[in-house]
Amino acid sequence: MKRIIYIFSLTLMVFACKAQTVSLTNVNWLTIPDGAYVKDTDGKLNAFLGTWKWTDGNDEFTVVFVKKLMYDGDGTRKFSQDKILGGYRYVNNGVEIANTLNFTTSFNVDDTSTFANFAKIITGINDDLKSLRMQVGDAIKHKSLSGSFELIDILILPNGNYSTTQAHWTLREKEFISINGNPPLPEDGIGLPDDIILTKQ
């Protein structure tokens, strides 16, 4: 009898685990159940992965994107998801002025020192599955920026996924409060290229 109860309980656990997996392709972000895993079951994120590069004379900007499975931010979110994280390297007039390519995709929320090497680009995929919303840590101006990464000249593969060799990178400042007319801190402006076309390497 105990064996039958054990097998029945195990079957329920397996069923419950499967029921908690939600496909990224069809997810409704407003109705995700607690404890769910939004999984890239169809490989929709793959078109963004890899190394992307822009050059203009002696200026060069490189972005590297990787997929982090079951990302749950600081551990307080109600669900986990497959997410694209990244880093960048910026060479201005032949001089490297920022390099965050040696990033990690995990950190310990109880150890703030682990945040220093965490990915400086955190993304979320848009509903069209052709573009990303970005939060980018500007290592030059010491601030957080908003942005987008949009695939262009897209080829649709037989499985319905996308492939391309080019993407449009844009950045913008988040709104900061100005006190007594003084510019907001940290430094005003954007230290990284803010409107460029990157080519997949």
- Using a pLDDT cut of 90, give the percent of the chain over it: 67
pLDDT of residue 13: 46
37 domain-assigned: no
27 domain-assigned: no
pLDDT of residue 184: 56
120 domain-assigned: yes
Could you tell me the pTM of the whole model?
Answer: 0.83
As for how many domains the chain has, the answer is 1
pLDDT digits (tens, 9 = 90+) for 3-62: 544 444 444 444 444 548 999 998 888 888 999 999 999 999 999 999 999 999 999 999
186 domain-assigned: yes
pLDDT band (50, 70, 90) for residue 180? low
pLDDT of residue 72: 87
Write the DSSP assignment of the chain as a string of letters: -HHHHHHHHHHHHHHHHHHTEEEGGG--TTSPPTT-EEE-TT-GGGGG-EEEEEEETTEEEEEEEEEEEEE-TTTTSSSEEEEEEEEEEEEETTEEEEE--S-BS---TT-GGGGTTB-SEEEEE-TTSSEEEEEEEETTTTEEEEEEEEEES-EE-TTS-EE-SEEEEEEEEPP---STTPPPSS-SS--S--EEEEEE-
pLDDT of residue 6: 45
Range of the domain at 176: 45-200
pLDDT average, residue stretch 123-131: 94
- Using a pLDDT cut of 70, give the percent of the chain over it: 83
